[in-house]
């Protein structure tokens, strides 16, 4: 494998802090890389350096000649004055430039062959088709929509589509799954699994990392640590690394403790002329120990007691702008439940939350709220932060304490639980990293307490260590939790129930975690598919039998079946059922509304298999009719 890019001795400093500290990383052709690290560790800075959008303070990046790089940043860059389609096509500019050059050259140009080979490698001749498929699977808005009219989630889909359509040599994705629904995330995962180039992805979606990544890169304390394997394998390797570091540090401390007693002897020790021993002690004492990562102590304020009735909804229905989102939803929320809400974007998940807390009146049905129920709602937009205020001011709002059940906690102590050190507590909001801003927003909102906690997409923009602590806090929360999320790992870890928006206005309740819901849904779909195939096969068999009887009556030259034909007739029905089952299986795939998301890469293959199977069915039926006619005629002749 050849090296397509190498970053050597990269250093980036922000004030006194080096977020990249003379660190080096090489990337090989075809690698599937995941990059992890705490928010503010420098991941996005490093991605920008790789994409050529930022220069390091020191060090250099060497790229393979003619390397095509595509970059999806967190703060994606779209031209607001252009349409969705125009923005997406700009992502394919490298291949469009090649096509334009190819078409401008005379037919006998020596460069024609090189350009044609390169365009074919980038699948440039099928660009328009690939754009249509990507837009459909990522649920992009119509191509003629102006970008300036799009929501944040719609813009992310357009940016994601623009990043993948060029089929670059090196694809860099910074949080690609944020604001995408499960179906879109699944398509992105399938795209990366079949992607022939190299990619580097930063994401907090742990299932996504486990599925698509083959090497994990951790950025910690300005240095890179490489681990072969996916995210789960990385966690095991990291635990081993930390254990080894702890063993080395323990030995170092034991050595220092022993030597310290000797050093304190002072002149007596010096008289023994063991200067080397002094130097070894001071060398070891000057070394830094392993960096101990702090975790956010995300403790949600103890909630007041809930009553027997929490929230009850009956025949609830919601319509927005004349469009019916869902209807007939009846459910009683109970204390102790942690309910995950999932489903495609645009089906009404956030609308349901707002109907429950009273921000939106129901179109139909009722919402009854218990007298002791107190909501704490963390919405997608959360709150607007004042860029000029400090972290302390944003949370304190003129007070010195946060109510903590029956007791009080100082604002400074409260913020330290969210990993804000003393110097960061007095830092202005505008100087915070994305992760720090997210933690500050959570700290500001969660201080409000409440016994019915509603979180709308809380996992977006949180780093993985903070996510794990949020999960622990929600699991330990003694009230009621209702959370919207597309993070499968999060839903599995936290939730006791699932409310799934399945389309056509339906909200399905499933007890258990998200994986259990998916397993039940798949089982029901398979059963329905088999039932349809069985009905189809029965109808065809009855039709064939009728045709056989008609054919038998028209036979004028009766003869007996040969031994070989008799054996063929005995086995032909089983052959027909087997081939019809295959036809039914493939037809059920085509009938699946999600077919083009799941099987987009196999459309041609499956079409050919279906045509061949149908032809085989026709051939077998024709042969069956022929043999049945001979048998029936011979039997009639014998009876006559």
For 567-621, how does the pLDDT look when each residue is reduced to its tens digit (9 = 90+)? 788 888 778 878 887 877 777 776 665 555 566 567 667 777 877 888 887 888 8
311-320/364-369 β-pairing: antiparallel
**Cα 239 to Cα 40, 233, 244, 246, 288, distances in angstroms:** 22, 10, 9, 10, 20
Q: What angle do CA 454, 477, 181 make, to 5 degrees?
A: 40
Sequence-distant (6+) residues with CB within 8 A of 218 are 35, 36, 37, 224, 225, 226, 227, 234, 238
Residues 210 and 495: their CA atoms lie apart, in Å, by 21
pLDDT of 327? 93
Look at residue 263 in the predicted model and tell me its pLDDT: 61
Check residue 542 and give its pLDDT: 73
Mean pLDDT of 494-520: 91
Tell me what pLDDT residue 442 has. Answer: 75
At 586 the pLDDT is: 77
Confidence of residue 480 (pLDDT cuts 50, 70, 90): very high
Mean pLDDT lowest for which of 17-26, 34-43, 311-320?
34-43
- Please give the Cα distance from 113 to 119 (Å, whole number): 10
Secondary structure of 338-371 in the HEC alphabet?
A: EEEEEECCCCCHHHHHHHHHCCCCCCEEEEEECC
Q: Over 90: is that where the pLDDT of 63 sits?
A: yes
Residue scoring higher pLDDT (635 or 552): 635
Per the structure block, which two tokens stand in for 197?
A: 């180039």
Residue 94 pLDDT class (50, 70, 90 cuts): confident
Burial of 251 (0-12, 13-18, 19+ CB in 10 A): exposed
Rounded to an integer, the average pLDDT of 478-495 is 90
Name the region of 210 (left: φ>0; alpha: ψ -120 to 50; beta: rest): alpha
Binned at pLDDT 50, 70 and 90, residue 555 comes out as very low
pLDDT in tens, 148-182: 888 767 888 888 888 888 778 899 999 888 877 78
Q: What percent of the chain has pLDDT over 70?
A: 86
Residues 36-43, mean pLDDT to the nearest whole number: 84
Res. 31 pLDDT band, cuts 50 70 90: very high
Tokens read off for 251: 């030995």
Confidence check: pLDDT of 269 > 80: no
Residue 239: pLDDT over 90: no
Average pLDDT over residues 37-45: 84
Q: What is the DSSP letter of 306?
A: P
Give the pLDDT band (50/70/90) at residue 25: very high
**Tens digit of each residue's pLDDT (9 = 90 or more) over 290-315:** 655 555 566 677 788 888 889 999 99
Task: Give the pLDDT score at 298.
Answer: 62
What local confidence, expressed as pLDDT, does residue 246 receive? Answer: 76
More confident residue, 562 or 252: 562
| pLDDT band at residue 216 using 50, 70 and 90 as cut-offs | very high
Per-residue model confidence as pLDDT tens digits over 364-397:
999 999 999 999 888 766 556 788 899 999 888 7
Please give the Cα distance from 71 to 53 (Å, whole number): 10
Mean pLDDT within 196-224: 91
* pLDDT interval class at 286 (50, 70, 90): low
CB atoms within 10 A of CB 358: 11
Whether 121 shows a pLDDT value over 50: the answer reads yes
pLDDT at position 334 over 60: yes
243 has pLDDT over 90: no
């Amino acid at each position: 494998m050849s090296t397509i890019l190498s970053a050597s001795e990269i250093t980036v400093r922000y004030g006194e802090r080096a977020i990249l500290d003379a660190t080096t990383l090489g990337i090989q052709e075809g690698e599937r890389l995941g990059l992890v690290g705490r928010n503010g560790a420098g991941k996005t800075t490093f991605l920008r350096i790789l994409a050529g959008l930022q220069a390091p303070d020191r060090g250099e990046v060497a790229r393979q000649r003619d390397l095509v790089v595509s970059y999806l940043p967190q703060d994606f860059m779209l031209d607001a004055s252009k349409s969705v389609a125009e923005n997406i096509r700009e992502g394919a500019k490298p291949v469009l430039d090649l096509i334009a050059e190819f078409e401008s050259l005379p037919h006998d140009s020596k460069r024609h062959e090189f350009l044609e080979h390169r365009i074919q490698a980038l699948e440039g001749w099928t660009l328009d088709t690939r754009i249509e498929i990507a837009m459909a699977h990522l649920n992009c808005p119509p191509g003629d929509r102006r970008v300036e009219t799009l929501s944040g989630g719609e813009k992310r889909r357009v940016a994601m589509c623009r990043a993948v359509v060029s089929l670059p040599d090196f694809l860099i994705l910074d949080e690609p799954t944020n604001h995408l629904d499960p179906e879109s995330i699944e398509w992105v995962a399938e795209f990366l699994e079949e992607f022939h180039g190299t990619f580097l992805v930063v994401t907090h979606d742990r299932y996504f990392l486990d599925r698509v990544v083959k090497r994990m890169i951790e950025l910690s304390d300005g240095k890179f640590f490489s681990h072969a394997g996916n995210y789960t394998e990385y966690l095991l390797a990291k635990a081993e690394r930390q254990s080894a570091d702890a063993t080395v540090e323990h030995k170092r401390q034991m050595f220092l403790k022993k030597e310290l007693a000797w050093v304190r002897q002072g002149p007596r020790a010096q008289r023994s002329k063991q200067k080397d021993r002094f130097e070894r002690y001071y060398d070891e004492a000057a070394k830094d120990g392993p960096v101990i990562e702090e975790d956010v102590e995300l403790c949600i304020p103890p909630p007041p007691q809930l009553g027997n009735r929490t929230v009850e909804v009956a025949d609830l229905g919601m319509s927005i702008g004349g469009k019916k989102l869902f209807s007939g939803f009846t459910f009683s929320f109970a204390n102790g439940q942690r309910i995950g809400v999932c489903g495609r974007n645009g089906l009404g998940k956030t609308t349901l939350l707002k109907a429950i807390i009273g921000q939106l009146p129901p179109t139909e049905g009722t919402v009854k709220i218990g007298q002791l129920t107190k909501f704490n709602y963390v919405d997608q937009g959360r709150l607007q932060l004042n860029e000029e205020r400090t972290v302390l001011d944003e949370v304190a709002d003129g007070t010195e304490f946060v109510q903590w059940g029956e007791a009080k906690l100082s604002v400074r102590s409260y913020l330290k639980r969210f990993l804000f050190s003393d110097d960061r507590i007095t830092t202005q909001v505008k100087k915070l990293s994305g992760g720090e801003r997210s933690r500050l927003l959570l700290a500001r909102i969660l201080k409000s307490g409440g016994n019915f906690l509603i979180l709308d997409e809380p996992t977006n923009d949180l780093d993985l260590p903070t996510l794990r602590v949020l999960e622990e806090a929600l699991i330990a929360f003694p009230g009621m939790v209702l959370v919207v999320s597309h993070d499968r790992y999060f839903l599995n870890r936290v939730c006791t129930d699932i409310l799934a928006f399945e389309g056509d206005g339906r909200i399905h309740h499933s007890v258990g975690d998200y994986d259990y819901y998916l397993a039940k849904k798949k089982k029901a779909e398979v059963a329905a598919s088999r039932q349809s195939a069985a009905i189809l096969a029965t109808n065809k068999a009855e039709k064939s039998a009728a045709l056989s009887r008609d054919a038998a009556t028209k036979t004028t030259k009766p003869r007996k079946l040969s031994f070989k034909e008799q054996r063929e007739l005995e086995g032909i029905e089983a052959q027909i059922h087997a081939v019809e089952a295959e036809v039914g299986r493939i037809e059920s795939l085509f009938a699946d509304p999600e077919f083009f998301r799941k099987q987009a890469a196999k459309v041609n293959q499956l079409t050919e298999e279906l045509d061949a199977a149908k032809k085989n069915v026709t051939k077998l039926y024709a042969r069956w009719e022929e043999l049945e006619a001979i048998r029936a005629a011979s039997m009639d002749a014998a009876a006559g």
